[in-house]
Amino acid sequence: MKPILTYRRSWKINLIFVLFCFSFAQLYAQTNTITGKITDETGKPLPGASILVKSAKTGTISNQDGVYSISAEKNAVLVISSISFDTQEVPVNNRSVIDVSMQASNKTLNEVVVVGYGTQSKRAITGAVASVGFNEFKDRSFSNVTQSLAGKIAGVNISQSQGAPGVSPIIRIRGVSSITAGTNPLFVVDGVPLENFNLNLINPQDIESVDVLKDASSAAIYGSRGASGVILVTTKLGKPGKTTISAGYEYGTQTVARKVPLMNAQQWIGYYIDAHNNAWVDLNPAVNKASDPNSARPSTYRIPEDFITNPQQFGNGTDWQDVMFRVAPSHNAQLSVSGGTEKTQFLFSLAYLDQQAVLDENYYKRLALRSNIKHKVSDKFSLGLNLGATTIFDRTEGTQGKSDVISLAQQSDPIFPVYNENGNLGYRDPNSVWNKYVAYNDLNLWHPYSLTRFYHKQNKSFNTLATAFADYYVTDDLKFRTSISGNLFNTRLNSYRVKNQGYGYSGLLPAEGNVQSSYMLNWLSENTLTYDKQFGDHSLNVLAGYSVQKQRDEFATVTSGSFPNDLVETLNAGVVTSGSSTATEWSMISYLARAQYNYQNKYFLTSTIRRDGSSRFGTDTRWGYFPSVSAGWLISDESFMKNATFINNLKLRASYGMAGNNQIPNYGAISLLGSSNYVSGATLASGLAIGNIANTNLKWERTTQLNIGLDLRMLSDRIGLSAEYYHSVTNDMLLNVPVPDISGFSTQLTNIGKMQNRGVELNLNTKNTTGKFLWTTDFNISFNRNKVLQLGPGNAPITYTDYVVAVKTEVGQPVSNFFGYVVDGVFKNQVAVDAAPHYSTTKPGDPIIRDVNGDGKITVDDRTTLGNNQPDFIAGITNNFSYKGFDFSFMLQGSYGGEIVNQNFRYLGFWNNGRNMYASVDNRWRSEADPGDGKHFRATLGLTGLQDQFHSLWVEDASFTRLKNIRVSYTLPTSLMSKTPFRVARVYVNAENVYLWSSYTNYDPENTTYGASNYSSGSNGLNASGNAPNGAFIGVDYGSYPLPRSVTVGLKLDF
Partner 1 sequence: MKHIKHILAIVCLCLAATGCKESFLNLNPVSNPTADNFKTRDDFELAVNAAYASLYLVYHPEGSVSYANEQMSDNAIVFNISGIQSDKWQFKDYSLATSNTMIYQFWQEYYKAIFNANIVLDKIEGASVDAGYKDGVKAQMMFLRGLYYFDMVQLWGDVPLVTTPLTGEESYGVLRSPQSAVYDQIKKDLIYAADKLPLASAITMPGRASKGAAQALLGKVYLTLGDKTSAATVLKEVYNSNQYSLLAGYADLWGPTVKNTKESVFEIQYLGGNASAPFSRYYQTFYPNNNFLGFYGGGMNQVTDDLYNEFEANDPRRDVSIALGYNNSGTFISQKYPIKWTDTKATQVGGNPLANNNFMVLRYADVLLMLSEANGDATYLNLVRTRAKLPKFGDAAYPTAKYATLDLAIEHERRTELAIEFHRWFDLKRTNRAIPVLTAKGKAITQTKLLWPIPQIVRTQNAAITQNAGY
Residues from 517 through 546 that contact partner 1 (CB under 8 A): 525, 527, 529, 546
Q: What is the number of other CB atoms lying within 10 angstroms of the CB of residue 599? A: 12
Residues 178, 181, 184, CA angle at the centre, nearest 5°? 80
Rounded-to-integer distance, Cα 709 and Cα 1, Å: 20
Q: Which is nearer to partner 1, 536 or 681 (CB)?
A: 681
Which member of 680, 812, 856, 979 binds partner 1 (CB under 8 A)? 680
> Given candidates 63, 84, 666, 1023, which one binds partner 1 under the rule CB under 8 A?
666
**Encoded amino acid at 923, one letter:** N
Question: Sheet holding 59-61: strands in order across?
Answer: 59-61, 50-53, 77-81, 88-91
Q: Give the Cα separation of 695 and 360 in Å (integer).
A: 48
The interface with partner 1 within residues 41-70 (CB under 8 A) comprises none
H or E, element range at 251: strand 241-255
Kindly tell me which residue out of 588, 664, 908, 1053 binds partner 1, with binding defined by CB under 8 A.
588
**Rg from Cα positions in the chain:** 32
Minimum CB separation of residue 699 from partner 1 in Å reads 13
What is the SS3 assignment for 691?
A: coil
Among 28, 535, 640, 678, binds partner 1 (CB under 8 A): 678
Per-residue interface string for the shown chain with partner 1, residues 807-846, x marking contact by CB under 8 A = ---------------------------------xx-----
CB of 41 closer than 8 Å to CB of 53:
no
Written as one letter, the residue type at 435 is N
Distances (CA, A) of 195 to 209, 616, 878: 19, 14, 31
Nearer to partner 1, 741 or 930 (CB): 741
| 578 touches partner 1 (CB under 8 A) | yes
Site residues for partner 1, 454-473, by CB under 8 A, read 472
691-720 residues in contact with partner 1 (CB under 8 A) are 691, 693-694
Residues 6+ apart with CB under 8 A from 743: none
What character string, x for contact with partner 1 (CB under 8 A) and - otherwise, covers 16-35? Answer: --------------------
508 binds partner 1 (CB under 8 A): yes
Using CB under 8 A, which of 687, 831, 973, 1051 touches partner 1?
687
CB of 852 to partner 1, least distance (A): 15
Nearest distance from residue 506's CB to partner 1, in Å? Answer: 7
Residue 796 in the binding site for partner 1 (CB under 8 A): yes
Residue 296 near partner 1 by CB under 8 A: no
Among 97, 287, 682, 929, binds partner 1 (CB under 8 A): 682
How would you classify residue 484: left for phi > 0, otherwise alpha for psi between -120 and 50, otherwise beta? Answer: beta
Give me the least distance between CB of 580 and partner 1, in Å please.
Answer: 7
Site for partner 1 in 943-982 (CB under 8 A): 943, 946, 948-949
> Considering the complex, what minimum distance in angstroms separates the CB of residue 689 from partner 1?
4
Using the minimum distance from each CB to partner 1, give the nearer residue, 325 or 910.
910
Tell the smallest beta-carbon distance from residue 562 to partner 1 (Å).
Answer: 7
Does position 800 interact with partner 1 (CB under 8 A)? The reply is: no
Task: For partner 1, give the closer residue by CB, 363 or 819.
Answer: 819
Q: Is 371 in the site for partner 1 (CB under 8 A)?
A: no
| Binder of partner 1 out of 26, 562, 572, 696 (CB under 8 A) | 562
E-state strands within 958-1041? 960-971, 984-997, 1036-1037
Nearer to partner 1, 309 or 686 (CB): 686
User: What's the min distance (Å) between Cβ of 577 and partner 1?
Assistant: 4
CB 903 within 8 A of CB 803: yes
Q: What is the 3-state secondary structure (H, E, C) of 713-737?
A: EECCCCEEEEEEEEEEEEEEEEEEE
224 binds partner 1 (CB under 8 A): no
DSSP, res 977:
H
Task: Report, in Å, the least distance between residue 614 CB and partner 1.
Answer: 7
Between 257 and 515, CB nearer to partner 1: 515
**Least distance between partner 1 and beta carbon 558 (Å):** 11
Q: Are 173 and 228 in contact (CB under 8 A)?
A: yes
**CB count in 10 Å sphere of residue 668:** 22
Among 385, 493, 708, 804, binds partner 1 (CB under 8 A): 804
Distance CA 241, CA 401 (A): 53
**N-to-C CA span, the chain:** 32
d(CA 309, CA 312): 9
Q: Using CB under 8 A, pick the residue from 26, 75, 696, 913 that binds partner 1.
A: 913
* Angle of CA points 880, 653, 763, to nearest 5°: 20
Estimate to the nearest angstrom the gap between the alpha carbon of 847 and the chain centroid. Answer: 38
Q: Is 586 in the site for partner 1 (CB under 8 A)?
A: yes
DSSP state of 1025: S
What is the nearest approach in angstroms of partner 1 to the Cβ of residue 287? 14
Subset of 844-883 contacting partner 1 (CB under 8 A) = 859-860
Q: Minimum distance between the CB of residue 119 and partner 1, rounded to whole angstroms?
A: 22
Q: Which is nearest to 62 in space by CA: 14, 28, 109?
A: 14
Number of residues that bind partner 1 (CB under 8 A): 100
| Residue 283 touching partner 1 (CB under 8 A) | no
Q: How far apart are CA 214 and CA 211, in angstroms?
A: 9
One residue of 96, 316, 570, 582 binding partner 1 per CB under 8 A: 582
The verdict on 585 binding partner 1 (CB under 8 A) reads: yes
Report how far residue 1007's alpha carbon sits from residue 145's, in angstroms, rounded to the nearest whole number: 19
Site residues for partner 1, window 723-752 (CB under 8 A)?
737-746, 748
Q: What angle do CA 700, 545, 146 make, to 5 degrees?
A: 60
Which of 405, 142, 493 lies closest to 1041, judged by CA? 405
d(CA 763, CA 768): 15
Distance CA 840, CA 951 (A): 17
Q: Which stretch binds partner 1 (CB under 8 A): 595-603, 680-688, 868-876, 981-989?
A: 680-688
* Residues between 419 and 448 with contacts to partner 1, criterion CB under 8 A: 428, 430, 435-436, 438-439, 441-442
Residue 309 as a binder of partner 1 (CB under 8 A): the answer is no
Q: Cα–chain-centroid distance for residue 161?
A: 8
CB distance 650 to 704 below 8 Å:
no
CA quadruple 676, 679, 680, 683: dihedral positive or negative? positive
Q: Which of residues 595-634 bind partner 1 (CB under 8 A)?
A: 613-615, 619, 622
For partner 1, give the closer residue by CB, 35 or 671. 671
Q: Which is nearer to partner 1, 794 or 812 (CB)?
A: 794
Closest distance of CB 791 from partner 1, Å: 13
Residue 119 phi/psi, 5° resolution?
-130, 165
**Site membership for partner 1, residue 486 (CB under 8 A):** no
Query: CB-wise, 263 or 749, nearer to partner 1?
Result: 749
Is 512 a binding residue for partner 1 by CB under 8 A? The answer is yes
Which of the 8 DSSP states describes residue 397?
-
Residue among 667, 725, 970, 982 that touches partner 1 (CB under 8 A) = 667
